[in-house]
Amino acid sequence: MKPCDPIGVFDSGLGGLTVAAQIRKELPNETVLYFGDSARNPYGEKPREVVETYSMEIVEAFARQHVKAVVIACNTATSAAAPLLREHFDFDIIGMEPALKVAADLKTPSIIAVWATNLTLHQEKFERLKNRFQSGHEIIRVPCPGLVRLVEEDRLDDLEAVDAALRDYLAQSRNAEFIVLGCTHFLFFKQRLQQLAGPNVKIVDGNEGTVRHLKHLLEEKHLLNPDSSHREDRLQIDNSDPSQIDLSWKLVHRMEETYE
Ligand code: DGL
């Protein structure tokens, strides 16, 4: 493995682009090969074994492209497939999980709503995570498949549909003081959600922490790329549904605007 090798990043579709954008911001020298599996989206409504098989196929393709690390930019694929992927490949596999710890550390006791996919919320991994923080906290599970669809269908500007979906999931979150965004697709709604939820609700996500962890692992292994040339060409986007590639770029730029 060499510092100039690429990093593979994948998701069930377009949600992981929020992570790819964060990598581009924090680690601009790194070449990122992004793969979105929009043709088979959503993963969150499929059996665990199916998501495991899809994830394996994707990471095998990354291995053929000589990646130095893979980021599973998908909480669902992480809970379904991370252990198997780690057994099979010798590069680092960085997964994501709902950032429950971040919320729980901010205030005890508290009411925390975790917004994620059905699969994430009903896996053993989530059960274990929840048990770690159960004492002192009320944890509410809120599956939000509608938000994944709005992103994949390019409907982020359909404000009526976006607000209706967000209000519905907010109602299911009852009196939550924290909302944990446990699905990478949901990051696109963060600002609007904050407006609707009001200043007393804190919204937490795992993107920054994931990229910090990636940076730390690469640093430790002396695998950070020192070459700062061609930074603007360092993100490559592929998708199992090629008609989603233009939308993918639009979404990356949309995320980047939120950093400005
Ligand atoms: N973006 C994915 C996640 O972080 C899931 C979306 C899906 O259901 O495919 O969990």
Q: Which domains, from first to last, does the chain contain?
A: 7-96+207-259 (3.40.50.1860), 100-205 (3.40.50.1860)
Rounded alpha-carbon distances, angstroms, from residue 148 to 38, 106, 163, 210:
11, 28, 14, 20
Q: What is the pLDDT of residue 13?
A: 98
Beta bridge partners of 238: 35
Tell whether the model's pLDDT for residue 135 goes beyond 90: no
pLDDT band per the 50, 70, 90 thresholds, residue 126: very high
> Residue 147 region, left (φ>0) first, then alpha (ψ -120 to 50), else beta?
alpha
Kindly state if the Cβ of 79 falls inside 6 Å of ligand 1. Answer: no
Residue 33 near residue 238, CB atoms below 8 Å: yes
Asked if residue 99 has its Cβ within 6 Å of ligand 1, the reply is: no
- Closest residue CA from atom 2 of ligand 1: 74
Judge if pTM exceeds 0.85: yes
Q: What is the pLDDT of residues 175-191, one digit of tens each?
A: 999 999 999 999 999 99
Q: Which residues contact 189 (CB under 8 A, 6 or more apart)?
A: 147, 156, 162, 166
Give mean pLDDT, residues 136-147. Answer: 95
Placement of tokens 């199992």 in the chain = 240
pLDDT (tens digit per residue) in 79-121: 999 999 999 999 999 999 999 999 998 888 899 999 999 999 9
Distance CA 64, CA 92 (A): 15
Establish whether residue 74 lines the binding site of ligand 1, counting it when its CB lies within 6 angstroms of any ligand atom: yes
Across 49-53, 94-98, 127-131, least confident range: 127-131
Closest CA to 236 of 97, 95, 61, 115: 61
Catalytic pick from 23, 121, 150, 183?
183
Distance 188 CA to ligand 1 centre (A): 13
